[in-house]
């Protein structure tokens, strides 16, 4: 039985214990209360309010334009819809890179104003002091290494990371540094499956993979990708469990046709005087 059903409300401690007990962790992105309630009722253990909202919700080409105020708004909505799942909020670009003190203030806003139960930041050893500062104030931190979307200009785009022995060693060292700094879990994105397996075996904390192979302790997908609602680009690692975009478009076409033909509304849809 999933920890969601056993403990009622998922905590970071429960997530960490799932790795120890060999139970895989299911994480999805969410950006509003309605989908948060649906995912929560389906037993999803972690809901990530991702800065991917900039791409799938706002139509931006990347995540760099997302602001802290936008993340507070969307995290608040998800927090109200999640009764069981752990709610993790992405810290957007330039809200944690300047110094640990500013990062702590911004993380505190996501918790205090938006109801986040943990925050996620991108970066390896360079972020260790920041992770330590935030965790020291009582705010759980999820790390994120590999393909880090906020660094796409440095990485040269959305490209697989960690190929080759030197790059693999670097990412492994980053993962260990984040663990020692106090991160409770780590997202591994866009790396070879063999490296995902290596890092997952070396860490005490759980790894959540996205394009990092089947041996991570859990998996995460962007909800819009999983549901077939975002067709601008579908990464190789995405499995579409539904094609809701096509179904929604057909429903809209049917609605339009019935309005044009004066078929909708019928008497049963109207108020009586």
Q: Which residues are known binding-site members for Mg(2+)?
A: 51, 90, 122
Any residues with CB less than 8 A from the CB of 272 and at least 6 apart, and which?
Answer: none
Q: Cα separation of 262 and 186, whole Å?
A: 54
Tell me how far the alpha carbon of residue 78 is from its chain's centroid. Answer: 12
Any residues with CB less than 8 A from the CB of 166 and at least 6 apart, and which?
Answer: none
* 141 strand-pairing partners: 119
- Residues taking part in catalysis: 189
Residue 60, Ramachandran bin (φ over 0: left; ψ between -120 and 50: alpha; else beta): beta
Let me know: does 47 contact 78? Beta carbons within 8 Å: yes
Q: Which residues are known binding-site members?
A: 51-52, 90, 120, 122
Q: Which residues are known binding-site members for 3-methyl-2-oxobutanoate?
A: 51-52, 90, 120
């Amino acid at each position: 039985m999933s920890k969601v059903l056993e403990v009622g409300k998922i905590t970071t401690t429960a997530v960490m214990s799932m790795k120890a007990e060999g139970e895989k962790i299911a994480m999805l992105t969410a950006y509003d209360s309605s989908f948060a309630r649906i995912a929560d009722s389906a037993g999803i253990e972690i809901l990530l309010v991702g800065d991917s909202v900039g791409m799938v919700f706002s139509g931006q080409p990347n995540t760099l334009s997302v602001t802290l105020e936008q993340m507070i708004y969307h995290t608040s909505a998800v927090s109200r819809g999640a009764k069981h799942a752990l709610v993790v909020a992405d810290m957007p670009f330039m809200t944690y890179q300047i110094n640990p003190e500013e990062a702590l203030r911004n993380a505190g806003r996501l918790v205090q104003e938006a109801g986040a139960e943990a925050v996620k930041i991108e970066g390896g050893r360079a972020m260790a002091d920041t992770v330590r500062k935030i965790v020291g104030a009582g705010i759980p931190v999820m790390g994120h290494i590999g393909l880090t979307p906020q660094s796409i200009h440095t990485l040269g785009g959305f490209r697989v990371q960690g190929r080759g022995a030197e790059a693999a060693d670097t990412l492994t060292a980053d993962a260990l540094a984040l663990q020692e700094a106090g991160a409770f879990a780590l997202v591994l994105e866009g790396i070879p499956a063999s490296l995902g397996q290596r890092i997952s075996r070396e860490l005490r904390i759980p790894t959540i993979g996205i394009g990092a192979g089947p041996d991570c302790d859990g998996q995460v997908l962007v909800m819009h990708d999983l549901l077939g609602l975002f067709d601008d680009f579908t990464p190789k690692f995405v499995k579409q469990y539904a094609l809701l975009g096509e179904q929604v478009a057909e429903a809209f076409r049917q609605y339009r046709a019935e309005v044009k033909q004066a078929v909708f509304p019928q008497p049963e849809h109207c108020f009586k005087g």
